[in-house]
Structure 1
Amino acid sequence: MNLSIHRLMRAACLTGALWLAGCTTYVQTQVTAFSDWTGSDATRTYAFARADEQQNSIEQKTYETLVASELSKYAFKEAPQASAHYRVALAYSVRGDLVTVRRPVYYDPWPWYGYYGRPFWGPWGGFGPYGPWGPTGYVDQSYPVYIHALQIRMTDRATGREVYKVTAVNSSEDASLYRAMPYLARSALADFPLGNGTVRTVTLPVDKNGGIGNETAASLDSTASGAAPAPATAPKTAE
């Protein structure tokens, strides 16, 4: 994996999980694009380029189907290798990491006492966290997070010139790359073609079945070429 993808994955890791239970949830994906795009609708034919280990992979074919569906929204048509104008290569990965969160610890010297003289340490016992003493210390809690990444690279078949490269990264508590891939593919190709050096966060809703909702994708935190990437933020939940 190259350094740029590694940095993006680290940024996504720091945001924590992107899938939460209840209400309406949004998955946020950080997208970075580099573009030298000059193509027209008349030349939008492509074929997928596969590395040796991808040649007979069912997983590869599954992800190609998702990307093909997104490309079709922009008048791209899949064609035989010998006649396609562009070659489209996919690279993808998932890896685990740990996120550490520092949380306050509260101590109340005057707890309430319940039945039989036993102390009661309920959420408001002796003022609890809202008492006048405040936190007495902090404890670090770590939990696992999985960073999913997809890179789509388009080259001119005749010349080998790279014309478009986009990387999408998000994170969640779910290790499954398969479940993350629809969000990665749609976020990566949303508003194709993006300008060279575009960095932004794409927000997609999750429906009640765990798939992408029908709401329009929202793009946040767009930055110009040369600006530092903004990490994807935690999901928004609408009651």
Structure 2
Amino acid sequence: MKLNRWTRRATLVLAALTALLSGCTTYVTTQVTAFSDWSGNDASRTYAFTRAADQQNNLELTTYERFVANELATHAFREVDKGQARYLVGLSYGIRSDMVTVAQPVYYNPWPAPYWGRPFDPWGPWGAFPATTYVNETYPIFTHLLGVRITERATGKEVYNVTARNSGAESSLVRAMPYLARSALADFPLGNGVVRTVQIPLDKNGGASNEMAATGGAPAAAPAPASGAKVVQ
């Protein structure tokens, strides 16, 4: 009967931990820097993508343009033929790999034989063993970059220039691009000289989650965030 009581208690604890962990969300964190001289209105938000001569048949760039086009559409931008567009949108992008070294703790167990203290207490009365030394482990880290530049087609004047950058273990730029595009154009248009951090929930399928982005930083003269977004100062 006593064992059954402890078993029941352990089951309840494990169930509570499972429920708690299932609610946890991992975020992709991106730093965004914007420079702006934007004065457009919804009626005039027609655009076309512009490319360098050697990028005309670039399938990778075409893929990234679709990500950006989807985000621009949420801000009343409409893609048209280049000759009819008020704005031209150009993209720059890249990925860089580096190695980082992290000191990891090594734990020493002074009790070679297994010890079981109170029921379901693997540490017994002594608690967890402290780290006795550290070893250096090296890991690859990848920095992903997306730049979006908007100019007036008639005058060539730059009216918006935003850069999004994030880093992590993801080695594929194409899998990082949905988060970069969404972060770069979140709450468009930002004020001139705004630098902030945008967090987007990680989608287990590799794309941006349908949850609203949480944005943060110290924006200078930035507009109010889109509905559902959270600005963390």
* TM band (smaller chain): 0.7 to 0.9
Deviates more, 1:135-144 or 1:161-170: 135-144
Q: Is the 8 A contact 1:106 1:129 kept in 2?
A: no
2:218 is matched with 222
Aligned-pair identity in percent equals: 61
Deviation for aligned residue 1:138:
3.6
2:226 is matched with none
Q: Is the 8 A contact 1:106 1:128 kept in 2?
A: no
Q: What secondary structure does 1:96 align onto? A: strand
1:113 is matched with 112
Q: What secondary structure does 2:191 align onto? A: coil
The count of corresponding residues between Structure 1 and Structure 2 is 193
Q: Is the 8 A contact 2:34 2:161 kept in 1?
A: yes
Tell whether 2:228 aligns with 1:204. Answer: no
1:138-188 deviation line (CA, Å, top 9, x unaligned): 432210011110000001111111100000011221211110101100110
Gaps of 5+ in 2: 1-22, 115-121, 222-233
**Structure 1 Cα separation of the partners of residues 108 and 27 of structure 2:** 36
Deviates more, 1:175-184 or 1:95-104: 95-104
1:89 is matched with 90
1:89/1:199 CA distance change after superposition, 3 Å = same
TM-score by length of 1: 0.72
TM-score by length of 2: 0.74
Q: Aligned letter for 1:200?
A: R
Q: What secondary structure does 1:114 align onto? A: coil
**Structure 1 Cα separation of the partners of residues 192 and 97 of structure 2:** 30
Deviation for aligned residue 1:202:
0.8
Q: Aligned letter for 1:187?
A: S
Tell whether 2:190 aligns with 1:189. Answer: no
1:6-29 deviation line (CA, Å, top 9, x unaligned): xxxxxxxxxxxxxxxx95321111
Q: Is the 8 A contact 1:24 1:207 kept in 2?
A: no
1:77 is matched with 78
1:128/1:74 CA distance change after superposition, 3 Å = same
Which has the greater radius of gyration?
2
2:129 is matched with 130
Q: What secondary structure does 1:82 align onto? A: helix
**Structure 2 Cα separation of the partners of residues 94 and 218 of structure 1:** 24
Deviation for aligned residue 1:137:
4.5
RMSD, matched Cα: 2.6
Q: What secondary structure does 2:85 align onto? A: coil
Deviates more, 1:48-57 or 1:29-38: 48-57
